[in-house]
Amino acid sequence: MKLLAGNSNLPLAKAISDYLELPLTQASVRRFADEEIFVEILENVRGEDVFVIQSSSYPANDNLMELLICIDALKRASAKRITAVLPYFGYARQDRKPGPRTPISAKLVANLITTAGADRVLSVDLHAGQIQGFFDIPTDNLWGAPVMAADIQARFATQPITVVSPDVGGVVRARGLAKRLSNAPLAIVDKRRERAGESEVMNIIGDVTDRFCILIDDIVDSAGTLCNAAAALKQQGAIEVVAYSTHGVLSGAAVSRVARSELSELVVTDSIWSGEPDPKDCKVRRLTIAPLIAEAIRRIADESSVSSLFD
């Protein structure tokens, strides 16, 4: 097999490459003066099983287009099978029609990836499970929960932990993490979103008094929801609040908002690379999912079970 990395998350791609002890395929991914993307594969890939590692994170449209062109280049170079590895699947939050005359962009992106020539898709913590059904090709959705659970157990095993979902939609995710933490108690934050990008916490369902609260979410963007939830939990008597999220989008003033919040720490994975290191005085800490993705890639190449990773 071969690994091909786009420019969206080179550190993660190199970590996956190191884990598999397989060098990244030599390729030139560059832009013309008018910002058109040009891809040239500099190695023979005929008959190869190729994995293209590319998150469609900011700038989402550029990174998505880069992925599509990489897939097309591999298809025309006669690669046997092409797997699009998206540690972060952009446009995932547009998975339904929230109102009249609105798109389902996640389905459109799935169609684009399939039409470009991908034979398989591998992603991590899709925002909604039904996105797997948007693809007409095999799709593996890895879970970040085992990585987070191991970190929580290593750091907070002696604390009276309660897992908290920041909204009703995340209850299944929170319950899955709580099960991995020896069936820790579960609480839910009931909130009402008045407009996009803003949230208002209403009340807490469950007892969090004198508990060490672990907020769990799949995507943290503006961080407003998590910060408001942390404040509400502290008001209800929580000892400390730590947030875990798979995808740290952290747009705008999110990092400074977290720094001023009641959160003791925000832990995200390295599915998204901002292009620069986090500020030293921020509360953001990163976990790597390179071993998880690398092991899934190995199993796909070997035609063995991926789901057994989570048994």
94 known ligand binder: yes
47 labeled part of a ligand binding site:
no
Angle at 164 between CA 200 and CA 309, to 5 degrees: 130
**Does 35 count as an annotated binding residue?**
yes
CA gap 144, 300 in Å, rounded: 18
Q: Would you say 170 is a known binding-site residue?
A: no
Q: Is 222 annotated as a binding residue?
A: yes
Tell me the three state secondary structure of residue 35: coil
- Residue 55 among known ligand-binding residues: no
The 284-287 sheet, strands edge to edge: 198-205, 186-195, 161-165, 212-220, 240-248, 265-269, 284-287
225 is in an annotated binding site: yes
Q: Closest Cα to residue 288, out of 2, 15, 23, 45?
A: 15
* 78 among annotated binding-site residues: no
Q: Name the residue type at position 249.
A: V
Concerning whether 191 is annotated as a catalytic residue, the answer is yes
Q: What is the 3-state secondary structure (H, E, C) of 56-111?
A: CCCCHHHHHHHHHHHHHHHHHCCCCEEEEEECCCCCCCCCCCCCCCCCCHHHHHHH
Q: Using an 8 Å Cβ cutoff, are 213 and 185 in contact?
A: no
Euclidean distance between CA atoms 64 and 44, whole angstroms: 24
The verdict on whether residue 235 carries a ligand-binding annotation is: no
The reply to whether 26 sits in an annotated binding site is: no
Q: Which of 225, 310, 294 is nearest to 83 (CA)?
A: 294
Which of 80, 191, 234, 280 is flagged as catalytic?
A: 191
Distance, CA of 292 to CA of 124 (rounded, Å): 9
**Half-sphere exposure at residue 8, Cβ-oriented, CA atoms within 13 angstroms:** 29
278 labelled as ligand-binding? no
> Does the annotation list 36 as a binding residue?
yes
Which residues are documented as binding site for Mg(2+)?
127, 167
Q: Which residues are catalytic?
A: 191
Which residues are documented as binding site for ATP?
34-36, 93-94
Which residues are documented as binding site?
34-36, 93-94, 127, 167, 193, 217, 221-225
